[in-house]
Structure 1
Amino acid sequence: MMQMLLASLTEIEARLQINWELVNSGLQFTSWGFFSVLLAEILRDSYHALCHKVNWLSKWHNKHHMAYRRDLSVVSLKIYQESQLYNDIVESSLLVVVLAVIALAVQQIGLWLGVAYASTFLFGASRRYFLGIIDTDYNHLPGPLETAPSVWFVNRSYHWRHHFDDVNAYYSGVFSLVDKILGTSLSLKGKTIAITGASGALGQALMAELLRYNVKIVALTTNPDKLPTVAGLKVISWQLGNEAEIKDSLEKVDILIINHGVNVYSDRTSQAINSSYEVNTFSALRLMDIFLTTVTGPQAKATKEIWVNTSEAEVSPALSPLYELSKRTLGNLVTLKRLDGNCVIRKLILGPFKSQLNPYGVMSAQQVARAILFLARRDFRNIIVTINPLTYVLFPVKEVSTWLYYRIFSKTLKN
């Protein structure tokens, strides 16, 4: 059977007269070409980061920042031309030279694609400067920001944050790889962050870590007496079912972390069912809906975020059936909400850590909090922190399949 199959393949190859040497050369050229374009973007973004760290470079690069208003409209033609001369032309010229040297040294023809790619930046910048043409790229188009920041490819909302949220973050221009490596895909600087379940183990650990970034924290808790008085910390008491009463407090919040929950362990009474779903699912859903009403204004989609602690129980046993069921329902609803694209919504898929809900947890709340912020600053939308290796495999499969199903069979009503 195998001999017949090999013979058939050989016959097909002979009829098609495939030149494998040419095919191999084409694949090699394509591979080196793709690598050269990626290298060009890495070098460009690295130079951009240096422009914010090296004083004499920053003087030239600041011309670029001076050229745009908050809505990304151009301040004036003169300032715009200066930005092309001192920033864009300098940057693209260096890029062309460095890539050309690499292409000459390695002697792979595919690398010249990167040189050609960089030359388009130099040509465009030169044209804008010498002809006095205002012709901004996609990321600098003026107008309101209609989409949330993307994950791997830089869009207008993502780059707007570099100009007007934190100039020492969001350096990437096309791919966000450099920002993910540097931990500058999300800046916490100057943010106001609200946390539910603030008096719990993870809530307090997160607040302690966040205060290191000089953020303002709004602690939303049903047990205000358990929280210490700390600079930068505002405590607001709220009760389950009265989420609408804290809407005004959420208006100026940039990031809402939904972290409260209840674990009834082995209880399966009607009261336990109602309590589990009310606390773990429906209260969180109401808070999400209330916060989403605050995502208004031309730039709100770029800065507002929701982080939801859905737990590893989304895909793994928690030895507490009602905790699993209520958290899985919450996780599925978050996936559904993400489809609307109103703002960035992150999931916190956390393994067992020691807390009031789980006194037998193997991780500490401090470890989990540090890991959450480490991954959030690299713009992970699904933040998995667990010692269970299966979760890192099972959760992405579950999330993609669920997202695809909801994408096909659900819709939203638009005004």
Structure 2
Amino acid sequence: MVCLHTGSILGWLFFLLLARQTSLDSQSVTPLSVILAMHIIRMLVVICMSGRDSNHISYKTVPKDTSWLFVGPEFHALHHVHPDRYMGSVVKFFDWIAGTAYSLRGKNVVITGASGAFGSAIIRRLQAEGVRDITALKFGTHWTHDDFSRVGNVLSQVQPDILILAHGTKGEDAMGANCNDTIRLIQLSLSHKQNVRQKNENAKKTLPEIWYVGSEIELHPAFGNPEMQRYLASKRAFLPYARALYDDSRVVYRHIVPAAFQSRMGRAIVSADWAAGVMMWWIRRGARYVPVTYTGMAYLNFLKFYFWVRPEYSWDNGTGSGIMEVHS
């Protein structure tokens, strides 16, 4: 309370001095006594509420924070989970600047595409952020296009906080790998989380997260290249599902849109490590749409993703039932 009043007094003196040094009327500055009285009234209200003001609400699991600017109880609750993060009290400007609007510390991660250029670069960044465990979910080992029976065992053993879908191909099975398999893996992850919540096992304070690696080809054409046409079709086929997840209150979905980077899928002017670094820069600032770009196209793609793509599908009861798979 002393700090609050001291800050208010200093702020009031600053604005009073500013008014006298400019053309502003110093009489228009709110009297200090009124400001202090408002703080005292607020303090008494908080005391009567046993310390719970508008930003202090007790949650079993912290709900999804949908405000990009203002601090609400959902954002502030995460400060009590991670005391060195989520520092803002009214707006998130400080957390944007300092990169403290998110924390990966202590989280369990399951990732597909871990052996790829971007997947391996993401893993290095996750390790630097202090995640607890990273488990690779491998195509051919844990799942195939027709068999996902071993995925559930991995999810049960790891209890992931985050599922990162970083696999991808431009081959003949692009639609199966990039869209259909992705949908099925998400269905299994949501179903697993739903079962855990119903049994009240290993209750987590934070919502589960799904990170999906998209592409700027969600916006630009394939220019007649057959491989790129397959890749384009598969990435765009997933967009309605992605948009539905973006709005789903039960999961934090991050849509990562990188420009081309150096990998086995093709040459580019930037490395996968650069792309992973830019991705993490945005995520540390709380971004759920994550533009990883040197072309600027990912910024334009946000307008398409947010305003044009319709979330036509429902991930019903955490299982995604009723969703029709897309086949090439």
Describe how 1:237-252 pairs up with structure 2 within 5 A.
Answer: 237-241=141-145, 242-251=147-156, 252=159
Change (3 A) 1:116 1:189: farther
Change (3 A) 1:155 1:300: farther
The answer as to 2:5 corresponding to 1:93 is yes
- Give the Å deviation of 1:299: 6.8
Deviations 1:184-212 (A, max 9, x none): 11111111122100011111111112211
Query: How far apart, CA to CA, are the structure 2 residues paired with 1:398 and 1:301?
Result: 33
Change (3 A) 1:123 1:337: same
Query: How far apart, CA to CA, are the structure 2 residues paired with 1:339 and 1:258?
Result: 18
The answer as to 2:160 corresponding to 1:253 is yes
Task: Give the partner amino acid of 1:282.
Answer: N
Describe how 1:161-176 pairs up with structure 2 within 5 A.
Answer: 161-164=78-81, 166-176=82-92
Q: 1:398 aligns with which of 300, 304, 311?
A: 304
Describe how 1:21-36 pairs up with structure 2 within 5 A.
Answer: none
Q: 2:263 aligns with which of 355, 371, 390?
A: 355
In structure 2, the partner of 1:212 is 128
In structure 2, the partner of 1:387 is 294
Query: How far apart, CA to CA, are the structure 1 residues paired with 2:296 and 2:35?
Result: 40
CA contact (8 A) 1:103 1:112 kept: no
Describe how 1:362-381 pairs up with structure 2 within 5 A.
Answer: 362-381=269-288
Change (3 A) 1:191 1:149: same
| Percentage of matched positions with identical amino acids | 25
- Give the Å deviation of 1:133: 4.8
In structure 2, the partner of 1:3 is none
In structure 1, the partner of 2:221 is 317
Deviates more, 1:178-187 or 1:242-251: 242-251
Q: Which has the higher contact order (CA 8 A, sep 6+)?
A: 2
The answer as to 2:305 corresponding to 1:305 is no
SS of aligned partner of 1:379? coil
SS of aligned partner of 2:55? helix
CA contact (8 A) 2:219 2:297 kept: no
Change (3 A) 1:195 1:410: closer
SS of aligned partner of 2:280? helix
CA contact (8 A) 1:257 1:307 kept: yes
CA contact (8 A) 2:143 2:151 kept: no
In structure 2, the partner of 1:177 is 93
- Give the Å deviation of 1:411: 6.7
The answer as to 2:282 corresponding to 1:282 is no
- Give the Å deviation of 1:375: 0.8
SS of aligned partner of 1:257? strand
CA contact (8 A) 2:112 2:119 kept: yes
Deviations 1:64-115 (A, max 9, x none): xxxxxxxxxxxxxxxxxxxxxxxxx123212311221121111146764999
SS of aligned partner of 1:139? coil
CA contact (8 A) 2:110 2:162 kept: yes
The answer as to 2:279 corresponding to 1:342 is no
Q: 1:158 aligns with which of 67, 75, 78?
A: 75
In structure 2, the partner of 1:24 is none
- Give the Å deviation of 1:143: 4.2
User: What are structure 2's unaligned runs of at least 5 residues?
Assistant: 319-328
Query: How far apart, CA to CA, are the structure 1 residues paired with 2:243 and 2:174?
Result: 20
The structure number with the bigger radius of gyration is 1
Change (3 A) 1:93 1:285: same
CA contact (8 A) 1:191 1:255 kept: yes
CA contact (8 A) 2:209 2:253 kept: yes
Change (3 A) 1:381 1:117: farther
SS of aligned partner of 1:199? coil
In structure 1, the partner of 2:238 is 330
Describe how 1:109-188 pairs up with structure 2 within 5 A.
Answer: 112=30, 120-129=38-47, 133-134=49-50, 136-145=52-61, 147-150=63-66, 151-164=68-81, 166-188=82-104
- Give the Å deviation of 1:163: 0.7
CA contact (8 A) 1:257 1:308 kept: yes
CA contact (8 A) 1:145 1:156 kept: no
CA contact (8 A) 1:92 1:118 kept: no
Task: Give the partner amino acid of 1:245.
Answer: R
Query: How far apart, CA to CA, are the structure 2 residues paired with 1:113 and 1:289?
Result: 58
Task: Give the partner amino acid of 1:162.
Answer: H
CA contact (8 A) 2:62 2:77 kept: no
SS of aligned partner of 1:256? strand
TM-score normalized by the length of structure 1: 0.64
CA contact (8 A) 1:149 1:302 kept: no
User: What are structure 1's unaligned runs of at least 5 residues?
Assistant: 1-88, 224-236, 265-271
The answer as to 2:109 corresponding to 1:193 is yes
SS of aligned partner of 1:369? helix
- Give the Å deviation of 1:250: 2.7
The answer as to 2:190 corresponding to 1:292 is yes
